[in-house]
Amino acid sequence: MNLADLFGNLDTSQLADVVEVVAKNRDVIANLGKLPEFIGSLSTSMNGAGQEAKGAAVALIGNDGATGAKGALCGAAGALNEIVDSLTKGIAMIASAAEAAHKVPLMDGPASRLEEASREMSRSTSALGELAQSMATIAGVLGSVAGALDRVGDHLVDTGTQARGFLA
């Protein structure tokens, strides 16, 4: 039987080229049969990674956007700010007592120590205020990171769902 008669005007040299390509790439073509299993596994992994990313976002900002690690940092920053306010009032009282003590004869020594204590406490209070501000800044960054993780999670889940749909 002549292949040209069977397929019409088929160029047998082109057919030979196709057979040669198939023969040379037999292993690659055989692996194509594994593609559905690979896509299914990829889909499952992407969905899992997406859910993990979304879970990490919840850990950072909670379900309400204000709890989690961000909420804990905001709470700590708020507590530090309250301590700073209280210490600032105490420092003002000590400074006032030092000023009054300077007006009393023979009280310059104790008044000077009160002034030194006031300055020292003021430096520490300033550092606490800076710490509170840094914590609030970190909380804001955590909120941004959580938002990004949540969006990444959505994209991964969506891509996994699309990959699974490709197999259907």
- Report the C-alpha gap between 26 and 14 in whole angstroms: 18
Q: What is the pTM of this model?
A: 0.73
Tokens at residue 6, please?
Answer: 């069977």
Mean residue pLDDT of the chain comes to 91
The stretch 1-24 carries a mean pLDDT of 74
Spatial contact of 45 and 160, defined as CB atoms under 8 Å apart: yes
Q: Place 95 in a pLDDT band, splitting at 50, 70 and 90.
A: very high
- Report the C-alpha gap between 98 and 90 in whole angstroms: 12
Give the count of domains, the chain. 1
The residue ranges of DSSP E strands in the chain, in sequence order, are none
- Report the C-alpha gap between 55 and 48 in whole angstroms: 10
Helix axes 108-167, 68-102, angle to 10 degrees: 170
- pLDDT at residue 4 is higher than 70: no
Which residue's structure tokens are 């956007």? 65
| Residue 49 lies in domain | 3-166
- Report the C-alpha gap between 137 and 77 in whole angstroms: 10
115-136: pLDDT as tens digits: 999 999 999 999 999 999 999 9
The stretch 18-22 carries a mean pLDDT of 88
25-70: pLDDT as tens digits: 988 888 888 888 999 999 999 999 999 999 999 999 998 888 899 9
Instruction: Tell me what pLDDT residue 49 has.
Output: 96
